Structure 1
Amino acid sequence: MSFITSLTRMWLTRTTKPFTFKNEYDRILPFAECENLGLYVHIPFCKSICNFCPYCKVRYSAELCDRYIDSLIQEIHRVGSQHAERKKVTSLYFGGGTPALAANRIKEIVDALNDHFIITEGIGLELHPDNVNVEVLQALKNAGVTKISIGIQSFCDKYQKILGRKKIDTTAMMSALAAVPFETVSMDFIFALPGQTYDDLKSDIDKAFSLGANHIAIYPFIDFTFTESPVAAMPKKEKRELLDAITHYCLGKGYSRSSIWTFSSEPDANYSSMTRDNFLGFGCSATSLFKGQFKINTFDVESYCERIRSGNLATSLTIRFTKRQRMIYWLFWTAYSTRVNARDFEKFFGVPLKKMYGFELWIAKRLGFINEHDGTYEMTLKGAFYYHYYENFYTLSYIDKMWGIMRKEAFPEQIKL
């Protein structure tokens, strides 16, 4: 796997140099100059730890959670006040962990962000199914949350047991969602679990929309080396057949596809913190992406709080991009939406997409991965699957390695990928 990703990296960046992350950061972050900037806040607390989840999380304690959020608000003001004027941003997303465990303090965090930013496209927040009740939903709505994403994973008893999850009270969930409406109600599912069939996934999708969802996300199971999950990954051929079948089903139902894994039943229903040209992250493990650099905060909650208390930022690692590296990053995550617009690329980088990657685009068209129309390159079903397939290599070669190290070291000296 590392051979494939290394070879691809060298070809696309036109250099043998690896991606090098160093223990350094700029004290003044260049977010004011960024267009299409999104915000992200990480809340790492969970009532119980799912063994398949790779994200930065710790077991919930009210005392630690409050101390963490005090530090988080300090970080927001410290970074936000670096520029005098309020910066216009696209959106704000809360991830975790289980952000809804801090429902009583979400408004404080949003208010702190509103001191420095103007959020134009709404606020999204992730919930565990146990959090979906009228009291929590109303607190979130009062805080300004407009979109919610519920981590269902599966409604099927078999897969809930495989994933170590308990049965969901769908009647109570439907009642709560009807009582407190949001612009977007997204439900997340995992596909490519062992033995999972088209009918299993179809049943999950139908149930989601019947309970009040207007958006779904179907994420592939990825077997990270540092998780304790005993679940085996589905073979490639079966995975492709399953993804193609469920994509055909959703499109046949009239749902619109907004990314590789997401479908919506209403045109304005959307939930994605990933497809942004630039973003600014707050909290432990949060990342920030600017025109010339990418940085990631420490994964360790205590180290995060200590860094903020000391008057510093909690940045653990930073990479300074070459122009080609930044182009690859932009293309990789923009393609997550299943389409890349050549005009957007040229606006961002000041150079035509075909001039930089014309040969690669020609190959992709010849292989049946993409179609081109009026400067927009759109993935075919085949292209979408192979994007997923390559992302799996990328995740295991790069993210798995980096997160595995950062879970053990709060501030590693350097990581080369």
Structure 2
Amino acid sequence: MGVITNLTRMWFTRTIQPFTFKREYDRLLPFAECENLGLYVHIPFCKSICNFCPYCKVPYSAPLCNRYIDALIQEIHLIGRQHKGRKKVTSLYFGGGTPALAANRIKEIVSALNEHFIITEGIGLELHPDNVRVELLQTLKDAGVTKISIGVQSFSDKYQKLLGRKKIDTAALAAALAAVPFETVSMDFIFALPGQRYNDLKSDIDLAFSFGANHIAIYPFIDFTFTESPVSAMPKKEKRALLDAITNYCFKKGYSRNSIWTFSSEAASNYSSMTRDNFLGFGCSATSLFKRQFKINTFDPDAYCKRIHSRKPATSLTLRFTRRQRMIYWLFWTAYSTKVRAADFQTFFGVPLKKMYGFELWLAKQFGFLTEHKGSYEMTLKGAFYYHYYENFYTLSYIDKMWGIMRKEAFPKEIKL
């Protein structure tokens, strides 16, 4: 896997130099100069730890959670005060972990962010199905949350057991969603599980929309080396057939494709914290992406709190991009939406897309991965699958290695990818 990602990286960046993350931080973060800036807040606590989940999370403890939220609010002010006035941002997303375990403090966190930022496209928050209760949903709505994403994974008892989760009370979930409406109700599902078939996934999607969702995400199962999941990934040929079939089904139903994995039944419904030119992250493991650098906070909640209490950023590692590295990063994550507009690339980098990657775009069209229309490149079904296929290599070669190290070391000296 490393060979494929390394060769691709060297080709697109035109250098043999790896992405080098170093143990260093900047007291002043350059977010004030960023356009199309998103915000992300990570709350790492879970009541039970799912063995397939790779994200930064720790068992819930009320004292630790409150101490962590105190530090989180302190970090927001520490960074937010670096910009005079209130910076306009696109959106705010809460991830985890299970952010709902801190539901009584979400309003406090949002208030702290509102002192420094103007949020223009709403606030999203991830939920476990057990969290979908009228009282808790109303608490979140009162705090300003406009979008929710529910980690269903599957409505099938068979796959819930396979993933080590309990049966979902679908009647209670549907009733709560009907009682407390949100702008976007997204439901997440895992596809490419062993033995999973088209009708299994189709049933999950149909049930999601019938229970009140207006947006769904079907993420591929990825077997991270540091998780304890006994589940093995589906073979490539079966995975492609399943992804193509379910994509065509969503198109047939009239759903809009928002990204590689997401579809919505209403044009205005969207839920994605990833497709942003720049973003600023707060909390353990949160990342920040700026025009010339990428930063990731420590994964250790205690180390995070200590660093913030010393009035220093919680940055664990920093990558300082070369221009070509930033271009390929921009292209990779912009393509997640299935579309890349040449005008957006030129606005961000000040140079035509075809001048930098004209040959690669021509080649992608010859292989049937892309179509081009009036300066916009859009993935075909084949292109979307191979994006997924490469993203799987990228995840296992880069993210798996980095997160595996950072789960063990609060502040690694250096990581080369």
SS of 2:54's partner is coil
| Residue 326 of structure 2 is aligned to residue 326 of structure 1 | yes
| Residue 68 of structure 2 is aligned to residue 68 of structure 1 | yes
| Residue 384 of structure 2 is aligned to residue 384 of structure 1 | yes
For 1:372 and 1:335, the matched residues in 2 are separated by 13
Deviations 1:320-367 (A, max 9, x none): 000000000000000000000000000000000000000000000000
For 1:4, the equivalent position in structure 2 comes to 4
How far did 1:101 drift?
0.8
Contact 2:288–2:296 under 8 Å retained in 1: yes
How far did 1:391 drift?
0.1
Contact 2:26–2:313 under 8 Å retained in 1: no
For 2:332 and 2:85, the matched residues in 1 are separated by 32
For 1:83 and 1:208, the matched residues in 2 are separated by 41
SS of 2:259's partner is coil
For 1:324 and 1:314, the matched residues in 2 are separated by 27
For 2:100 and 2:246, the matched residues in 1 are separated by 30
For 1:345, the equivalent position in structure 2 comes to 345
Q: Output aligned runs, 1:105-254, within 5 Å.
A: 105-254=105-254
For 1:311 and 1:245, the matched residues in 2 are separated by 52
For 1:285, the equivalent position in structure 2 comes to 285
For 2:49, the equivalent position in structure 1 comes to 49
What amino acid is the match of 2:414?
Q
Query: How many percent identity over aligned positions?
Result: 84
What amino acid is the match of 1:84?
K
For 1:255, the equivalent position in structure 2 comes to 255
For 2:6 and 2:187, the matched residues in 1 are separated by 34
Q: Output aligned runs, 1:404-415, within 5 Å.
A: 404-415=404-415
Q: Output aligned runs, 1:368-379, within 5 Å.
A: 368-379=368-379
For 2:336, the equivalent position in structure 1 comes to 336
SS of 2:25's partner is coil
For 1:297, the equivalent position in structure 2 comes to 297
How far did 1:175 drift?
0.5
For 1:401, the equivalent position in structure 2 comes to 401
For 1:384 and 1:134, the matched residues in 2 are separated by 37
| Residue 312 of structure 2 is aligned to residue 312 of structure 1 | yes
Q: What TM-score does the superposition give when structure 1 sets the normalisation length?
A: 1.00
User: Mind listing any 5+ residue stretches in structure 1 that lack a counterpart?
Assistant: none
Q: Output aligned runs, 1:35-46, within 5 Å.
A: 35-46=35-46
SS of 1:402's partner is helix
Deviations 1:349-402 (A, max 9, x none): 000000000000000000000000000000000000000000000000000000
For 1:267 and 1:365, the matched residues in 2 are separated by 28
Q: What TM-score does the superposition give when structure 2 sets the normalisation length?
A: 1.00
SS of 1:12's partner is helix
SS of 1:275's partner is coil
What do you get for the CA RMSD once the two structures are aligned? 0.3
Q: Output aligned runs, 1:270-281, within 5 Å.
A: 270-281=270-281
For 2:99, the equivalent position in structure 1 comes to 99
How far did 1:311 drift?
1.2
Contact 2:258–2:270 under 8 Å retained in 1: yes
Deviations 1:95-124 (A, max 9, x none): 000001110000000000000000000000
- Provide the aligned length of Structure 1 versus Structure 2: 417
What amino acid is the match of 1:337?
S
For 2:73 and 2:151, the matched residues in 1 are separated by 26
Q: Output aligned runs, 1:12-23, within 5 Å.
A: 12-23=12-23
Deviations 1:17-56 (A, max 9, x none): 0000000111100000000000000000001000000000
SS of 2:94's partner is strand
What amino acid is the match of 1:114?
N
What amino acid is the match of 1:369?
F
For 1:311 and 1:234, the matched residues in 2 are separated by 46
For 1:198 and 1:376, the matched residues in 2 are separated by 31
For 1:376 and 1:169, the matched residues in 2 are separated by 43
For 1:123 and 1:332, the matched residues in 2 are separated by 25
For 1:186 and 1:100, the matched residues in 2 are separated by 16
SS of 1:53's partner is coil
